[in-house]
Amino acid sequence: MTLADHLPILPVAIPALAAPVALLAMRRRRALAVGIAFAAILAQLAVALVLMARVSGGTILAYRLGDWPAPIGIVLVADRLAALMLVLTSVLALIALLHGVVTRADRKGWHFHPLFQFQLMGLNGAFLTGDLFNLFVFFEVLLIASYGLMLHGQGPARLKAGVQYVVVNLVGSSLFLIALGMLYALTGTLNMADMGLRIAAVPAADQVMLRIAGLLLTSVFALKAAVVPLHLWLPRTYAVSTPAVAALFAIMTKVGVYSLVRVVPQVFGEGAGAAAWVPAPWLLPAALVSTVIGFAGVFVARSLSEQAAWAVIGSTGTLLIAVAGWSPESLGAGLYYLVHSTLAGAALFLVADVAARRRGSFGDTASPGPAFAGRGIVALLFMAAAIAATGLPPLSGFIGKLLILASLAGLPDWGWGWSVILGTTFIAVVGFARTGSAVFWKSAEGCETPPAPASRADMIAPALAIAALAALSAGAGVVSAYTDAAAAQVLTPVESAAAVLGEGAE
Amino acid sequence: MSYEFLVASAIGVLVAGGIFLALRARTFQVVLGLTLISYAVNLFLFASGRLVLARPPIWDKSVSQYTDPLPQALVLTAIVITFGMTAFVVILALRSFLETGSDHVDGDTVPCDAQDGLGDDGESGQP
């Protein structure tokens, strides 16, 4: 084997090695730790791009850990979707880390950089694994790191929200384990590809158990994706997190969506016999309600970061409306929107922080405050982020929503999707206009202008996020062609089963 | 009374107690509830390889029946993870209590003395 054959393990191995090294370097030489963190993320980005180039032709790389044959050992599977998520994760991580370092948020505690790397390890592992129990383990890795990152900086507000976040996710992990236990008892395997082949053979007497297991698994992923009615943990957690961390968390809800997209077609797809598409009928109503509630939250939010958190819920709902179509066109459009909405959510959190740093005691509350220094530029950044999050031209949100609407047109329930997406876009426009005019337009009488920050360097990260969104809209043709191909690949699990299980499988 | 019934009812009782405690308002009770639920989940995972008595756990050509070893490995992983998580949530609850002066899960800042009355566990005011 050459080094190129070990490519799929590198996105997990690089942060796993970088984290302890950064921890050791942190005590004596902080600059070295920061350098290690950036180098690790750049290496992950490079590996993700190489992986993407290798799988974009349609090949599926299956990496057998310890060279154990597939259904017995654990496999990592790199296909188009996994590579896309890896590239997205490392781009987002680069932007979030840059903001954390520039705003000195990483200096509030000793463990920011190691935890950040462990978070990336969990995310990359969850995107690559081909084994359900291994998915659980990587979920736990990313959750444990996220608990630490979420509490970074401390303070009563974070601790309060932190207890709720941890308790909710512990219950979610228990449900995940129950679902795994049932699926293992019924099919005798934990490998996703193998389970997809064996699930049709589950006897009729056990179909009820199989349905319960499938729906439990879907509920766990919906909890991670913050789908209504399982969304209540998200707004407070994200609004009180350190902004650089909240920006990285924009991809956490997408992990839930990714797991749904990965597991439902592969395990409960066409070949599942009586249990085919068990979770499908529940997804569209939940997605529609999430979109409405998320953008209603955008409308009534009291601060910019709270608004960004609600926008994350709303955009995840919009994304799931597309996913719930389960056709190659709608899933492809949804994946394009997934990339967009992750970056747009991160941009909103970062801009909220840039504004809060200049408004003194007003923070990012959506009420008229002092006329702070550099208001014009911050207002422009906010406007660009808001345009992206709502889905107005020229940024990629518009293209994403257009693709989703076009792909829904051929499906039976298109009326619901169209009216909810168009209606919530309007609500979001009004909501962002309201907070934007309160923060950037009006001025409160008689309050002192807070001292201007030393530099404008903290605007780099949000500007980079918006530049990435602009690039996404400029390259929409290329990206959407790739996401369409990824969706088609995900919806034909036979190919991936053949790649994972070898030639002998059906 | 069969072995299966005993294990199944034990899991059921643990989950029922765990859910009851997890829905209480104080963090200590919630932590106990989560612990009970995780015990139940571990037992459940263990039983997912079917309950087999007095059989070797490792496959051998000479035996026809054996205990499924995989759920035992899964349970081991799950125990380690839930142990770490429980330790973390205990420390977090303690820090939260010390910093906010309240051990309510919703972070309600009721003074500690006022919480000792009966009946305010489930119906404390919203923040």
A213 within some domain: no
A406 lies in the same domain as A284: yes
A307 lies in the same domain as A355: yes
- Tens place of pLDDT for every residue, chain B, 127 residues? 688 899 999 999 999 999 999 999 888 999 999 999 999 999 999 888 888 777 777 767 777 777 888 888 899 999 999 899 999 999 998 988 888 888 887 766 555 444 444 444 444 444 4
Within 5-44 of B, beta carbons closer than 8 Å to A belong to 22, 27, 30, 34, 37-38, 41, 44
Could you tell me the domains of chain B? 7-52+66-114 (1.10.287)
A314 lies in the same domain as A234: no
Within 58-87 of B, beta carbons closer than 8 Å to A belong to 70-71, 74, 77-78, 81-82, 84-85
Interface test with A, best of B4, B44, B124 (most A CBs within 10 A): B44
ipTM: 0.85
CA dist., res. B73 & res. B122, Å (int):
39
A286 lies in the same domain as A260: no
Domain of residue A311: give its range: 280-494
- Give the angle A331-A333-A334 at the CA atoms, nearest 5°: 60
How far is the alpha carbon of A232 from chain B, nearest alpha carbon, in Å?
A: 12
Domain boundary among A241, A267, A293: A267
- Residue B33 CB partners (closer than 8 Å, separation 6+): B17, B18, B19, B20, B21, B22, B23, B24
**H helix intervals, A201-242:** 207-224, 234-240
> Strand A61-64 vs strand A75-78: parallel, antiparallel, or unpaired?
antiparallel
A177 within some domain: no
Beta-carbon count within 10 A of B45 CB: 26
A147 within some domain: yes
A95 within some domain: yes
Exposed/middle/buried for A495, CB within 10 Å: 0-12, 13-18, 19+? middle
CA dist., res. A384 & res. A388, Å (int):
6
How many residues are recorded in chain B?
A: 127
Q: Return contacts of B104-111, CB within 8 angstroms, 24+ apart.
A: B104/B25, B104/B26, B104/B27, B105/A163, B105/A164, B105/A167, B105/B25, B105/B26, B105/B27, B105/B30, B106/A160, B106/A164, B106/B25, B107/A156, B107/A159, B107/A160, B107/A161, B107/A163, B107/A164
pLDDT at A315 (0 to 100): 94
Identify all chain B residues contacting A180, using CB atoms and an 8 Å cutoff: 45, 74
A441 within some domain: yes
Contact call for residues A374 and A358 (beta carbons, < 8 A) = yes
Parts of chain A with a pLDDT under 50: 504-506
CA dist., res. A20 & res. A118, Å (int):
9
Per residue in A29-47, pLDDT (tens digit) is: 889 999 999 999 999 999 9
CA dist., res. A104 & res. A13, Å (int):
27
Q: What is the mean pLDDT of chain A?
A: 91
| Among candidates A151, A163, A182 on the partner chain, residue whose Cβ is nearest the Cβ of B27 | A163
CB contact under 8 A, B38 and A144: no
Domain boundary among A240, A267, A294: A267
Identify all chain A residues contacting B41, using CB atoms and an 8 Å cutoff: 174, 177-178, 181
Token couple for B60: 């051998």
CB contact under 8 A, B71 and A174: no
A388 lies in the same domain as A436: yes
- Give the angle A335-A86-A263 at the CA atoms, nearest 5°: 55
Beta-carbon count within 10 A of A309 CB: 32
Per residue in A340-350, pLDDT (tens digit) is: 999 999 999 99
Q: Is A365 helix (H, G, I), strand (E, B) or coil?
A: strand
Interface test with B, best of A170, A187, A212 (most B CBs within 10 A): A170
pLDDT at A299 (0 to 100): 94
A89 lies in the same domain as A137: yes
A176 within some domain: no
CA dist., res. A345 & res. A96, Å (int):
12
A19 lies in the same domain as A83: yes
A194 within some domain: no
Phi, psi dihedrals of residue A493, rounded to the nearest 5°:
-65, -15
Interface test with A, best of B15, B85, B86, B110 (most A CBs within 10 A): B85
In chain A, how many domains are there?
Answer: 2
A33 lies in the same domain as A73: yes
A48 within some domain: yes
pLDDT at A442 (0 to 100): 85
Domain boundary among A218, A236, A267: A267
